[in-house]
Amino acid sequence: MNTLKLLASSLLLITIFAACTKQGQSQQGDTTQAAATAVKSGHGNGIVRAIDTSAKTITLDHGNVGTIMDAMTMEYPVSSASMLNGIAVGDSVRFTLEDRGEGNYMVTNITPIKKG
Domain ranges of the chain: 1-37, 40-112
CATH dotted code for 40-112:
2.40.50.320
Confidence of residue 19 (pLDDT cuts 50, 70, 90): low
* Rounded-to-integer distance, Cα 103 and Cα 98, Å: 10
Q: Each residue of 53-107: pLDDT tens digit? A: 999 999 999 999 988 999 999 999 999 999 999 999 999 999 999 999 988 999 9
Higher pLDDT, 5 or 71: 71
Report the SS3 class of residue 71. coil
Contacts of 21 (CB under 8 A, 6+ apart): none
Q: What pLDDT score does 114 carry? A: 86
Is residue 108 pLDDT above 90, yes or no? yes
Q: Each residue of 31-66: pLDDT tens digit? A: 444 455 678 999 999 999 999 999 999 999 999 998
